[in-house]
Chain A
């Protein structure tokens, strides 16, 4: 199985006529079993097609055309219009919104997330590449063209969660090369406020039988890793976790932001050093090098299985 999406997931692309969105649509249609991209929205472009996908002026038109609820939307509109697009999606019954757009002010993101929570919808991103279920479906630009995505991602037991889109692919490729496939890989976005954090995705992986272990990519800035450490401790998770922490050099440069908008060391809790300590306390192994991750997670899974068998016997 997988989390968030599967072969049956229907979704639309908001901003579908933009250059990046046209490519992204092609990639999603080509990958795995071929995503069910049931429509696109660009105001004023009703009646056009993008790679055979019908374009509408409004999300409501797309839903009416489908004649049934649509599950997801990939939003790739400029930052000034993103909040409106996401509100439109949620108010038209979309359950899962992947926001690709970068540089959206925090207040807008917080408003979108609060509306999603009120309506029982979920947001992934912003500033993310989306979700991939290897060999089955991808929703967003994650992994790039189908051919490239197929090279990096393989099906298997590892759930991947990453604050960096590119590193989602780098880490998954490393796992694949070592014979460890992925159940689902999620690029959650690099901003200070995002729709779904590690801790918010953990219950989904926890409930997914295919998933046996979790690999995460983390950075300085924010409290998301502390939140994960707390979640793991409080919920006695069945899933072993290995983390990789990039940007250790930033500890020496408080107040500077590198890589993603969310990476800035404003207080002691934001530093890589502090986060590593916190994760370790919760039993999460922090890898020094990405190439060490496959053996680490394999060993931790074996250890858990051993413990489970022992307690069963």
Chain B
């Protein structure tokens, strides 16, 4: 889960890394008060979880508190890439002598976190790495040995930084690495890390991502920052259809029948499991089909959960038929999914034979499942029909409907 800049800055501050005397607000009049307190020129920054806010006019420089209020009002009303700002950050306009970069990310290949440091900050680090590779230092550090300052010292020194700057930067980069580990971050980045005229350093912007799987062990931090449990902060907001899918999945703890993503096609998909869903979604599209949704079934969900998911998809506006398909199942039972989707059709007053374009789930309890499907006249396939072929048949049927 991505943090807003104002939240990330708070995390940085708590870790003992110097930050500017900024303020966060959702109210233009309050922005003025913060600017008055700061006394001097300020920067008003839109708080949105999307890139390119500078270009979009979401960052403005104010000379007076009056101007700060005016800009805050404009920015608060400004949508950027489909996102409305959460608020604005009012930041003292720092006289920066040089901008640096400090970050920590995971290296999935080495399976260790890696510190990244550069004396060229303020721009995208990947760009620096491409254009001036000798200006980017990287160093992995252990997951189980204690973090020690020499590691930060090595990565900073490797970029040619020495003197008092090196000694001031070491504790900052060490603390950043520490907060990355302690808070289960997947990204912790200070960019730019500003060096002021007096030689001191201050974090001027920060990007942070906390791992969703670890949110449960950072409840206090999230509560302090005012982040609600319901805030998923995916790349886009969940739609009502997707939220209804979550409801279906949470009705009992057995298995999964959810992870729904909305699309705008006419072929409803009741598919699984993880890899099978990815394969099937691609296959439907490759045959010119238009999926109405993505979803996942797995881990042997109950009949009522499979039924709930099928109902949700069947009732989605624009859905003509559903395709019920999975890779060969070993844990999930074929007969339970068959029961669930047939029940959904019947309870909605629909004919399963007509609404279910194809049922392709081979594996555990398939004889029982196929018997039920046969009884209701549903077109089904066993493992001799590939995922790709099943998807093709489903698309062919629905195109028959459209024509």
Contact = CB atoms under 8 A, between A and B. Distances in A.
Given A110-B143, A111-B143, A177-B384, A246 B275 contact: yes
B379 to A, nearest CB: 20
Interface in B294-321: 294, 296, 298
A114 B108 contact: no
A124 interface: no
A167 B279 contact: yes
Interface string A141-170: 111110011001000000000111111011
Interface string B212-233: 0110110000000000000000
Interface stretch (A3-11, A36-44, A68-76, A100-108): A100-108
Interface stretch (A235-243, A259-267, A296-304): A259-267
Interface stretch (B62-70, B90-98, B147-155, B326-334): B326-334
A182 to B, nearest CB: 14
A166 B276 CA distance: 7
Interface in B96-150: 106, 108-109, 111-113, 126, 142-144
B273 A247 contact: no
Contact of B235 (A170, A174, A256): A256
A169 B294 CA distance: 22
Nearest to B183: A107
Determine which residue in B279, B285, B329, B389 has the highest number of CB atoms from chain A within 10 A of its CB, and name it: B279
A162 B276 CA distance: 12
B184 interface: yes
A134 B108 CA distance: 30
Contacts of A247: 278-279, 281-282
Contacts of B236: 256
A142 B327 CA distance: 13
Given A105-B213, A223-B109, A260 B275 contact: yes
Interface string B73-102: 000000000000000000000000000000
A15 to B, nearest CB: 16
Given A114-B142, A114-B143, A261 B213 contact: yes
Nearest to A262: B108
Interface string B338-371: 0000000000000000000000000110000000
B328 to A, nearest CB: 5
A164 B108 contact: no
Interface residues of B, number: 53
A125 interface: no
A289 B363 CA distance: 20
A217 B279 CA distance: 10
A283 interface: no
A223 B298 CA distance: 26
A247 B181 CA distance: 30
A222 B108 contact: yes
B285 A249 contact: yes
B327 A167 contact: yes
A224 B278 contact: no
Nearest to A250: B278
Interface string A106-127: 1101110111001000000000
B276 A290 contact: no
Contacts of A192: 106, 108, 186
B167 interface: no
Contacts of B388: 289-291
B234 interface: yes
B278 A223 contact: no
A145 B108 contact: no
Given A104-B213, A152-B328, A263-B278, A166 B273 contact: yes
A113 B216 CA distance: 22
B211 interface: yes
Given A103-B213, A114-B112, A148 B364 contact: yes
A190 to B, nearest CB: 6
B66 to A, nearest CB: 38
B261 A110 contact: no
Contacts of B211: 105-107
A115 B144 contact: yes
A248 B111 contact: no
B383 interface: yes
B328 A164 contact: no
Contact of B274 (A104, A190, A248, A249): A190
A145 B334 CA distance: 14
Contacts of A105: 184, 211, 213-214, 217
Contacts of A115: 144
Contacts of A173: 328, 383
A170 B274 contact: no
Contacts of A170: 275-276, 279, 327-328, 387
A258 to B, nearest CB: 6
Contact of A106 (B142, B184, B328, B386): B184
Determine which residue in A80, A107, A110 has the highest number of CB atoms from chain B within 10 A of its CB, and name it: A107
A261 B279 CA distance: 16
Closest 7 CB pairs of A and B: A144-B330, A164-B275, A255-B235, A167-B275, A105-B214, A247-B278, A246-B278
20 contacts: A106-B211, A106-B214, A109-B111, A113-B143, A114-B111, A114-B142, A129-B330, A144-B331, A164-B278, A170-B327, A170-B387, A190-B275, A227-B109, A246-B279, A246-B282, A249-B281, A249-B282, A249-B285, A258-B261, A261-B213
Given A192-B186, A262-B108, 12 more contacts: A106-B213, A144-B330, A145-B364, A164-B275, A170-B276, A170-B328, A173-B328, A193-B108, A244-B279, A256-B261, A260-B274, A261-B213
Interface of A: 20, 79-80, 103-107, 109-111, 113-115, 118, 129, 141-145, 148-149, 152, 162-167, 169-170, 173-174, 177, 190, 192-193, 197, 217, 219, 222-224, 227, 244, 246-250, 253-256, 258-263, 267, 288-291
Interface of B: 106, 108-109, 111-113, 126, 142-144, 181, 184, 186, 211, 213-214, 216-217, 234-236, 259, 261, 272-279, 281-283, 285-286, 294, 296, 298, 326-331, 363-364, 383-384, 386-389
